[in-house]
Amino acid sequence: MSASQRLQNKVSIITGAAQGIGLATALKFAAEGAIVVVCDLRQDGVDAAVAQCRALGAQALGFALSVTERAQVDAMVAEVKARFGRVDVLVNNAGITRDARLQKMTEEQFDAVIDVNLRAVFHCAQAVADTMVAQGAGVILNASSVVGIYGNFGQTNYAASKFGVIGFTKTWSRELGPKGVRVNAVAPGFIETPILATIPDKVMDEMRAHVPLKRLGRPEEIASVYAFLASDEASYVNGAVLEVSGGMTV
């Protein structure tokens, strides 16, 4: 095993893995020797991500599913267990935005974000928890955000979901830690991903100006943190919320 392959044969489920931070994380895990389980909504995106993981020499499996549908999540986890006998890592990365100010936000916008960013994180974690506890080992990694620490204009729903994910992380780390399962969250700052495609250039320039490093983050920079947290190098990190934002909140 080379020093670079910190995740050798770790069966790793990654949600929202067809683009952005999720895809970067899938590829990083593949390069680190993991068995990568790609989950996303669209079959074509899933297939492309699986192909990229396999091109890096990894075993990879893909599922086109909605993380909001518990039956689909349970079926995926059951198939992964049947195939590989275990689940070592879950990266709860899938997320959406539906931005609007409080006075303008519709119930549909609010519900959609809570469903994907909060309820689905619960579904996925609950679906793997029994298996990880039975193994006496496992890692659950949740995607929060700097918005989940400090709030953000126009993001009532998103901020609430990402604050909520921190609540999950703190609670599960207490419940599952004694069973050998570590739970941590990553709070990215502004990262260059498709989720930012709707933001005007002027606002993007302002965002860069607020970061001491004077640039947005790259998906790979978040993926590297997930890989560290998933690895045995982070064996004493539990219940942490790791902000990866270029110092934007300093």
Active site residues: 158
Q: Which residues contact 116 (CB under 8 A, 6 or more apart)?
A: 67, 68, 94, 95, 96, 161
β-bridge mates for residue 183, sequence order: 140
DSSP secondary-structure letter at 93?
-
Amino acid in position 89? V
Instruction: Give me the residues paired with residue 11 across strands.
Output: 35
Give the integer Cα–Cα distance in Å for 36 and 54: 9
Strands (E), 58-202: 60-64, 89-92, 138-143, 181-188
Longest CA pairwise span in the chain (Å): 56
N-to-C CA span, the chain: 39
Return the structure tokens found at 11: 């069966």
Cβ distance 66 to 42 under 8 Å? Answer: no
The closest of 121, 125, 118, 119 to 181, measured between CA atoms, is 125
Length in residues, the chain = 250
